[in-house]
Amino acid sequence: MTPKEYKYTQEHEWICPESKNKGKVGLTDYAQSQLGDIVFLDLPAPGTQVEQGKKMGELESVKAVSDIFAPVSGQVAEINQTVVDEPGLVNKDSYGAGWLVRLELSKPSELDALTDSDKYDEFVAQLTENESEQAGG
């Protein structure tokens, strides 16, 4: 389910390295399932400098506002206008058509600090377990 070639953050963003210094960024399936229906996206304009781990945008689900963090540092090369017009794409296809921005990486070595798909799956499994413990009883 989680694409193998992507890298993940603990804030539930992913980046798919397309070349040495370019990558597509989006939210994970777990993130969209937790947020529920996404109805609004505020993405950084092309040209904006973003910094790893810092807020780069916002999204609104039906219920709440959440921040979107940059998985790596760099410059916004492109935003996915289709998803801005139809934010529900993040719910429908978070790893595909629901991508958010394309970044030009300023420090490609930052990718090494991110989590691979197996580790991310484990991380989510742990979160889900904690959640069902809280919900039960």
Partner 1 sequence: MIEVLKKTALNKVHHELRARMADFAGWQLPIWYTSILEEHRAVRSGAGMFDVSDMGRVWITGRKAGVFLDRVLTRSASRLEAGSSQLCLLCLEDGGILDDLLAYRLATDRYLIVWNAGDIEQKLAWLRHWAGSDPDIVIHDRTADTVMVAVQGPAVCRLQNLKGVCSLPRFGHTRTRIENVEVLAARTGYTGEDGFEIISDGANAAQLWESFMRQGVKPCGLGARDSLRLEAGMLLYGQDMDKSTNPYEVGLRWLVEMDNGDFIGKNALLEIKRQGVKRKLVGFRMTGRGVARSGYKIVRCGQEVGKVTSGGCAPTLGVNIGLGYVPTELANIGADIEIMIRNKPVAAKVVNRQFYKRGAQNDP
3-state secondary structure of 137: coil
Q: Which of 109, 97, 121 is nearest to 52 (CA)?
A: 109
With binding defined as CB under 8 A, does residue 66 bind partner 1? no
With binding defined as CB under 8 A, does residue 62 bind partner 1? yes
Stretch of residues binding partner 1 (CB under 8 A), selected from 12-20, 57-65, 101-109, 110-118:
57-65
Which of 10, 65, 118, 129 is in the footprint of partner 1 by CB under 8 A? Answer: 65
We find the least distance from the C-beta atom of residue 135 to partner 1, in angstroms, to be 6
Terminal CA-CA length for the chain:
30
Sign of CA dihedral 16, 71, 45, 32: positive
We find the least distance from the C-beta atom of residue 115 to partner 1, in angstroms, to be 25
Residue 29's DSSP bridge partners are none
Within the chain, strands assigned E span 7-8, 13-19, 22-27, 38-42, 49-50, 55-61, 65-69, 74-79, 101-105
Question: Binding pattern to partner 1, positions 82-111, x when CB under 8 A?
Answer: ------x--x--------------------
With binding defined as CB under 8 A, does residue 37 bind partner 1? yes
Q: In the complex, which residues of this chain contact partner 1 (CB under 8 A)? A: 36-37, 39-40, 42, 58, 60, 62-63, 65, 88, 91, 135-136
